Structure 1
């Protein structure tokens, strides 16, 4: 057998990174862990457990809102009117009403402050109100103090009955005849002046929030102050977005919690890291050249010599007969399920030979010597030729 000279094999091109190259020394795992930690820290810093909401808003259910107080007042028969403009508050004005005013941006407008000052309703002022001199009935701001639990130390029924409360913030001074409660070294954090209308000022509204309402006597103080009249006009800052409380319908995006975008971003980064971990770099198709080229005839000769060396006449005869049957069956119009009797009968009819001879050639016993094997190959060749050329 002639062997062609060996050719140089094509250079091997790697098609995927190995674990050793990606995770050598554990640095890959450390980098991914650091990235996940960084994303988690950023998520906490930007979202955390923020419950800022809209402070002292009767429609806000966050910790800083006052939805709980508004619901309690409604159950006690107080009509709570949430308004977002001075014009609405003035329109609802009346002598049997109480107007709750916090440090809303509208009060920086002198015209708005004068409009509120002209109302007939009692007033509950919360925090350091701008333009306090316009409608404070002589109550003036002093220094700020810390917000903490304090005792009333006064005879005002609304405070005395409530007891200790979480209050502080702004402190006040009052004219002659005014009442003050919850004092400390810097001054009182609750002041009331009674005249043509009752004006009450509290230094901070934390005791009215959803978070603090159930502590100390906060609920009692808030109800006593805010529920003093049948109608409570509650002035809050204007709604800025469609999803804000009281602004009407909100879209699906507006209803999603604010932490959702950061959670999606964190999930996306995690998916990206997994993709980088599992990625496979696919290069061009590598054509591998065989080092030896062998012609088909040489392959047949080599197999024949192996059969001869092992004296495997039976296997050689079976291989010759199987190949001959595979070639003759379609030419005889038969399918692969045809029986040896059918094949032999139709082949005999096609060639004019005896069926017994045809069956012996195609399906007979194996030859006993090399001469018989050569004769069998010759008979099979003759039979195929006669079937092709009847």
Structure 2
């Protein structure tokens, strides 16, 4: 008999390689996402001297008596100005709690904005930023109680939202009134908490699935459905198991000898003994009129005049045997079977 479809073992053997590679790639992507942006040298990092860094504005703030505290946790913001470089990476409720505790808050380009404007020099157009004058602004526009620079900078209560962070970078700080505007926003109090959240910070409040974009989730769902369909297609049975003619004729004696060699090579004499006992019981049961699976010891003892205990020990004993004991057992079982047949 030959099965016409692959079994589960074959499917797993074929699929485990690609699955392992996929898991490794996914794990690496998650680790890179969570750790990306950590360390010095990143954008808006007050320790960075790179063009997109913010060491210059941090230095100016310190020269004006403002203590700059860089953090990726922001657990203590009471009485300070809170500057959040990536508000979208923080749980909204936590961000609201931090803003209530801080004396003033500056949020950089949170989403969603009303519309997007190209960065360029703009006039303040509001009393809030008259002291700074023209500055490089753009990015998102917002609604607020006070609106400046074509609504790219707004203030509501103690929370200021700015749509473009170029004024805080080493590259653009010395242009127009960028430095004055940056100092006026970040230097409102003697202590500035410079909060640089990352994906790891968001993951403390959200599950990993919440961090995955909806498009990725939909794509993963499609891939999952496709994988299930492929598995069903590859694992389906085309019909019942059918007999096939063997390409060669194998004599029964060769099969028995081959199995015996396997038992001997694996030192499975005890297992071979169990097979011999079971085969003897199966052959004697029809001769004795005993239902299959029942103990024929009493009927054998009655017909052969052997003690029941010795017959049962011969047919059911589970004591380990060696090769010599196996030969002796085979001879004893053969003798017992001959006695039953002659009785």
Q: Output the TM-score relative to the length of structure 2.
A: 0.44
